[in-house]
Structure formats: C-alpha cells, structure tokens
Amino acid sequence: MNPERFKNFGIGFGFLLIQFMLFRHLKIMQIQPDLLLIFLVWYMARKDRTAALLMAAGLGFLQDAMLDLWGLNMFSKTLLVFMTYNFIPRGSKKQLLIGQVFLTIAIAAVIHNLIFLGLNFAIESYTGEQYFWRHLIGSSLYTAFLASFIQLFRTN
C-alpha cells in the first residue's frame, strides 16, 4: 500500500471513528448519518475505480466489525461504488455548489440504503416497515445534510 492510499485509509478510518463515537449519539428521531459514505463519494471523485472499490470494501468491513453486521456494509458500500463510480463528478477544479453536493450524496445514500435494506430484508434481520422507511429516507437525508454542511466549511 503506497503512502497516499495509507493516508486516505487513515482518513476514512477517522470518519468511521467519528461516526461510531460521536454521531451514534447525535441521532434525530433514531436516524443517524453515514459519514463513511460521505468519505467514499469524496474518494470516488479523486481516485480510480479499483482503489475506490478496495477502499469501500476495507472500510465497510471495519464498519461491520464495529457494528456487528458482518458483511452488510461491506457489500452495500462496495456495490454502491461499483454502480455509481461513473456518475460521480470528477476532476473539477471548481468547488461544487451546496445543492450539487446535497443531491449527489442524497442519491448515493438512497442507493446505498436500498442495497443495505434489501440485504437486511433478504436475511430477515429487520422486518418492520417503519424501520425501513425511517432508515431509507431519514438516514439518506441526514447524510446529505451533513455532507452539505461539511462542504460549507471545507477549504481547498
């Protein structure tokens, strides 16, 4: 692993730790954002598909290990990167508008949550319809709002 990928993996792990230690306690109506998803969309915009797939698989595996979901996040994040890589804006020197960031992250989060909840439904871990819609819509919008907020305060 080259030093730049190792550094990016560390940044992704930092996002995962912040999500696990902080945002797990900052729920709104039992909804929490997925910081790792924000990092992966940022990573997809800057790196090639293979690197993004490996990063998604590695960090998804660590997220599953922390949350005891074994394979659900790893599979859904890897499939998300595989399906959406060509649609993520890349190589732009201009800073994206808040609306563009919100829409990109919201669509990615909805796709990720559909995959995640589809897997959950297939293994019958969560069968409640209320949980499905709360997680699909609520978590996707919370993640997109958080990404927009980060975009407001980021520096070049």
For residue 70, the model assigns a pLDDT of: 77
pLDDT tens for 14-26 read 999 999 898 888 8
Cα–Cα distance, 5 to 51 (Å, whole number): 8
Q: How far apart are CA 26 and CA 12, in angstroms?
A: 20
Q: Give the pLDDT confidence of 106-154 residue by residue, as tens digits.
A: 999 999 999 988 887 777 644 555 677 777 888 899 999 999 999 888 7
**pLDDT of res. 124:** 65
Instruction: Please state the domain count of the chain.
Output: 1
Looking at this protein, which amino acid is placed at residue 32?
A: Q
What's the whole-model pTM score?
0.83
Query: Taking the CB of residue 3, how many other CB atoms lie within 10 A of it?
Result: 7
The yes-or-no verdict on residue 92 having pLDDT over 70 is no
Domain that holds residue 52: 3-85+93-153
Token pair for 83: 């399906």
Query: pLDDT value at position 120?
Result: 79
Going by pLDDT thresholds of 50, 70 and 90, the confidence category of residue 13 is very high
